[in-house]
Amino acid sequence: MATKCKRKVEIPGASSKLGKPKTTAAAAAELYPNHPRPTPEECRSVRDHLLSLHGFPQEFARYRKNKVIHDSPDPSKPFFGEDGSDETITRKEGVLDGLVRTLLSQNTTDSNSTKAFASLKSSFPTWEDVLAAETKCIQDAIKCGGLAATKASCIKNILSSLLEKRGKICLEYLRGMPVDEIKAELCCFKGIGPKTVACVLMFYLQQDDFPVDTHVFRIGKAIGWVPQGADREKAYHHLNKRIPNELKFDLNCLLITHGKLCQRCTKKGSNNQRRTPHHTCPLFNYG
């Protein structure tokens, strides 16, 4: 589903150095010991209210199918839709594809980032071709997504680092690693921050993680789930600690969608006819 709302950029400047996240998982346990929200009951209630209002967002449906298969005790069984029909499961997108797709989504619209990724893939059949190409050629392929020079540099750095470290350009080895090790691996790449890592974990590795984008961050503060003094990194650790794993995927997707559509929960106006009127916002009583 295309949207005009831009995602906050994570890419550091040319002189920036990206190391490990400043707040470790261990330290996160002590961030806000006196802030018990959200409770598991609140999380389930908000999930149910938003699901009733919006239905499950179609833009995330294919990732949800993969999540169901991943979590199923018998992944060989087909996934059945809500109407009981046997639905074809889309092949899991490669982890490297997912990382680059997420990188291209930074500071641009969903529509433009989708076009940029499609253009990159059509211009260069393999990641080896991308690495061998002149940076200017990569920039031209992804220019519709904005920040083409910076993003092209980050992509080439990821590919060259993988080839040097692993001997091949592939991230599928991450699928068998613990979450903390996956985070450490991905954060080693220049231009890859905590939100991008969390998106890769949730959408492409089917892990129980809860990315905090601008919509989730704004709504989290508005309804009291996130302390007012928290930044996005601390909000990420706090919410991941408080929200039950089995609710993270659906709740995250629904909060993102609600943040785009609800007049009360967004700061920007829109001509989108699907926008949720202020008086019907189910989060009104949670603040």
Residue with the bigger pLDDT between 14 and 59: it is 59
Tell me whether strands 86-87 and 79-80 are parallel, antiparallel or unpaired: antiparallel
Which of 155, 183, 205 is a domain's end point? 205
Q: What does the pLDDT look like over 132-146, one tens digit per residue?
A: 999 999 999 999 999
Tell me: do 149 and 177 sit in the same domain: yes
Residue 182 vs residues 29, 172, 244: alpha-carbon distances, Å:
20, 11, 20
What are the backbone angles phi and psi of residue 16, rounded to the nearest 5°?
A: -80, 150
In the chain, count H helices and then E strands.
13, 2
Q: What does the pLDDT look like over 223-238, one tens digit per residue?
A: 999 999 999 999 999 9
pLDDT at position 275 over 80: no
Tell me: do 94 and 143 sit in the same domain: yes
pLDDT at position 79 over 50: no
Tell me: do 184 and 241 sit in the same domain: no
241 as an active site residue: the answer is: no
Contacts of 122 (CB under 8 A, 6+ apart): none
Tell me: do 181 and 196 sit in the same domain: yes
Contacts of 55 (CB under 8 A, 6+ apart): none
CB 102 within 8 A of CB 196: yes
Tell me: do 192 and 122 sit in the same domain: yes
pLDDT at position 3 over 50: no
Total structural domains within the chain: 2
In a domain, 15, yes or no: no
Give the confidence band of 286 by pLDDT, cuts at 50, 70, 90: confident
Q: CATH code at 120?
A: 1.10.340.30
Tell me: do 217 and 269 sit in the same domain: yes
Given 92, 195, 248, 260, the catalytic residue:
195
Q: CATH code at 233?
A: 1.10.1670.10
Residues shown for the chain: 287
Give the confidence band of 71 by pLDDT, cuts at 50, 70, 90: low
Window from 12-16, 103-107, 129-133, 269-273 with minimum mean pLDDT: 12-16
Tell me: do 262 and 280 sit in the same domain: yes
pLDDT at position 267 over 90: no
Mean pLDDT of the chain: 83
Bridge partner list, 80: 86
Q: Which domain holds residue 52?
A: 34-71+208-287
